Amino acid sequence: MAEDTKNTETTVEKKPERKQISWRKLGQTAYADFPDGRVLEFDYSDLDSDLLKFYGVKQWVSDSVSGEKGYDAKFDGMKANFAEALKEGLEMVGNQIRIKGKSRANATGAAENKRIVDNMRSTAKAVTLNGLLAKKMLAAQGGEAFTDDDQKKLDEFLMAMAQDAVKNSKKK
């Protein structure tokens, strides 16, 4: 085969907590992000779009009923999901293709909750108003202790904000 110009490889920061390859799309390029930080880039602009559409429909419709038990449930689910996709359209949310406005049937919110808590933990490390508020909320849920010193610093931030608000209201 001639020189491969439609497929490139790069390496980015390693993120070992992820165990699966994730996919992104930009224009007519697909990116495979590996857990070890490597990235493969696939320019699919010259591939047969009808064949890709067939494969995509087959894969998406099959995936949409992967949790169903029995052929009757799979049959009915595939039929209903495809009809809804035709009616509502599809959208890309993160790296998932979904019916517009519909969340995953098996979504528990656990991933979003974990992201929020991780963000709060990161914020709580900073001695800022937001950091101290996050730390106080996490402490109430059993996280790292919120000390008297933390409370004094939080009170200073809140008092400064209140004084600033009073000063600004007098200017108007």
Measured CA to CA in angstroms, residue 37 lies from 4, 10, 65 at distances of 22, 8, 31
Predicted confidence band of residue 99 (pLDDT cuts 50, 70, 90) = confident
pTM over 0.95: no
Per domain, the residue ranges of the chain are 7-47, 48-107, 110-167
Please tell me the predicted confidence (pLDDT) of residue 4.
53
Gap between the Cα atoms of 73 and 6, Å rounded: 40
Backbone angles phi, psi at 39, to 5 degrees: -135, 130
**pLDDT at position 15:** 46
Report residue 154 as tokens.
């939080």
Lowest mean pLDDT among 18-22, 34-38, 80-84, 106-110: 106-110
pLDDT at 122: 80
Q: Is the pLDDT of residue 83 over 50?
A: yes
What tokens were used for 51? Answer: 């064949």
Span 26-77, pLDDT tens digits: 888 888 888 888 999 999 888 888 888 898 889 888 888 888 888 999 899 9
Closest CA to 127 of 160, 148, 154: 154
Alpha helices in 47-70 (DSSP H): 49-64
Confidence band of 109 (pLDDT split at 50, 70, 90): low
Give residue 153's identity as a one-letter amino acid code: K
Nearest to 102 by CA among 111, 91, 113, 94: 91
Residues 138, 131 contacting (CB under 8 angstroms): no
pLDDT grade for 5, boundaries at 50, 70 and 90: low
What is the chain's mean pLDDT, rounded?
A: 81
